[in-house]
Amino acid sequence: MSTEQSTAPDIIFVRDLRIDTVIGIYGWERQVTQTLVFDLEMATDIRAAAASDRIEDTLNYKAVAKRVMEFVQASRFELVESLAEHVARLILDEFQVPWLRLTLNKQGALRGARDVGLIIERRRD
């Protein structure tokens, strides 16, 4: 087993996190919930957790997912851009994640396309 230091961050990911919320600019969208699909990739260093085998020493993806779900379900943004930016900031600040890539998919938002959305990458200040 190599003990070399890696320059690339370790990544914990959550894929296909489906959350129902009110989102959209049209009147009908303000009256219904729609399902958004999130993919999260979060930089972390897993070495301490690997050595200790303790959840306290790692980024708890269940806690992240639960917090994101709670926030998104309560939100009432019009634009996915606004929602994505707020979710990214929440993860960076509340979970001390140094970097993340967030994909937000508003499936069915565009006739003829299955997937529509955005991908953002953010770093902690």
Positions marked catalytic? 106
88 backbone dihedrals φ, ψ, rounded to 5°: -60, -45
Taking the C-alpha atoms of residue 16 and residue 40, their distance in angstroms, rounded to an integer, is 9
Taking the C-alpha atoms of residue 7 and residue 3, their distance in angstroms, rounded to an integer, is 13
Q: Which residue type sits at 80?
A: V
Q: Which stretch of DSSP H or E encloses residue 88?
A: helix 80-94
